[in-house]
Amino acid sequence: MATLSLKAVALVALFSVLVTYGARAQQPDYNTSATSYYSDWVPAKATWYGAPNGAGPDDNGGACGFKHTNQYPFSSMTSCGNEPIFKDGKGCGSCYQIRCLKNNHPACSGEAKTVMITDMNYYPVAKYHFDLSGTAFGSMALPGLNDKLRHAGIIDMEFRRVPCNFPGLTINFHVEHGSNPMYLAVLVEYENKDGDVVQVDLMEGNSGYWEPMRESWGSIWRMDSNRPLKGPFSLRITNESGKTLVANNVIPADWKPNTDYRSFIQFN
């Protein structure tokens, strides 16, 4: 019964804000300073979903395509972002500090916590809306008051963008299930700094020619071909700041679907 009551409180709060915000919602502006590093704290709304101490989705995934978001480096500190933050998938992997103050809710600590965008928020209740994992939402509370804060369902909070930092990790390329000689889909993950990728290019074998891949969904990029693709494949990635890195021959000629290919490159 307690779980049902908690969900009912959250649904009532969410509905009331949807009614208020729906009438004045505007098209998002991706060029806002709110997504610049260490901007002033920006007001937003926060909700949460999934298990109270979980990573959001039941499968520990999300609309970005990342897997095992309950494990390092995500560590369940994850969030959906609405469109100005999710950026049609190009915001996947970006990192934000979040906090709530006592004037937002008496259980708030005011301490900044870092979350990563791993999912899409389809029903925003404010210009900026973080639909956090239960773990991330509770992390904004004073010690011992995590459940009390989660019971609020929806709160006012603040956020600002910060660089991502994944000690011990280099950029990983996961060849997605369903890839075949004429179709290659690759998930790009664990990028330091911006945390996101806005373009991926592929070079077959030693052709010397880069071909642009297309964003499939989230952080997954694909190459469709009318002929068999010839490995090994080099990948060139560009982040939001315009910096590029090249992973030479990172995917071997005998590649297999549903396989990780770890590079030796990382944004510094």
Task: Mark which of 162, 187, 206 sits at the end of a domain.
Answer: 162
d(C-alpha 215, C-alpha 233), whole Å: 17
| CATH code for the domain of 23 | 2.40.40.10
User: What are all long-range contacts of 202-208, with beta carbons under 8 Å and residues at least 24 apart?
Assistant: 202/233, 202/234, 202/235, 202/236, 203/233, 203/234, 203/235, 203/236, 204/229, 204/230, 204/231, 204/233, 205/230, 205/231, 205/232, 205/253
Across all residues in the chain, what is the average pLDDT? Answer: 90
Is residue 7 very low, low, confident or very high in pLDDT (cuts 50, 70, 90)?
A: very low
- Give me the domain span that covers residue 195: 172-262
Q: Do 142 and 245 belong together in one domain?
A: no
In a domain, 177, yes or no: yes
Phi, psi of 46 (to 5 degrees): -130, 135
Backbone angles phi, psi at 17, to 5 degrees: -75, -35
Residue 6: the pLDDT is 41
Tens digit of each residue's pLDDT (9 = 90 or more) over 16-56? 444 334 433 343 444 456 777 877 999 999 999 999 999 99
pTM, entire model: 0.86
Q: What is the pLDDT of residues 57-80, one digit of tens each?
A: 999 999 999 999 999 999 999 999
CB 80 within 8 A of CB 130: yes
Instruction: Kindly state whether residues 192 and 226 are assigned to the same domain.
Output: yes
**Are the C-beta atoms of 169 and 249 separated by less than 8 Å?**
no
Contact 95, 115 (CB under 8 A): yes
Q: Hey, what amino acid is at 143?
A: P
Question: What is the rounded distance in angstroms from the CA atom of residue 99 to the CA atom of residue 142?
Answer: 11
**Cα torsion through 169, 128, 6, 52, rounded to 10:** 0
At 123-159, the pLDDT tens digits run 999 999 999 999 999 999 999 999 999 999 999 999 9
Cβ(78)–Cβ(160) below 8 Å: no
Domain-embedded: residue 122: yes
- pLDDT reported for residue 5: 40
The tens digit of pLDDT for each residue in 222-265 reads: 999 999 999 999 999 999 999 999 999 999 999 999 999 999 99
For residue 188, the domain's CATH number is 2.60.40.760
